[in-house]
Amino acid sequence: MHVIVFAMSVYYSPADHGLEIFGELEQDDLCYQFNMLVVWKRAADGDLLWAMDSG
């Protein structure tokens, strides 16, 4: 059995974690790389959460 890990990721399915995307920034001038900042709003209390990712 194969588990699709990205489906459990907050990046790909924020609603499954009680979140909605509030905003995001992505550097788009990179070749075969990425830099991103995502801000989510938690539905339960309205708190904002953020994370950065790159690769």
State CA 53 to chain mean position distance: 9
Structure tokens of 19?
Answer: 């979140």
pLDDT given at position 27: 87
Q: Are 35 and 18 in contact (CB under 8 A)?
A: no
pLDDT given at position 3: 58
Which residue range(s) make up the domain with 20? 5-54
pLDDT given at position 6: 59
d(CA 12, CA 16): 9
- The stretches of the chain forming alpha helices (DSSP H) are none
Over the stretch 1-55, which tens digit does the pLDDT of each residue have? 555 665 678 888 899 999 999 999 998 888 888 889 999 999 999 999 999 988 8
Q: What is the pTM of this model?
A: 0.76
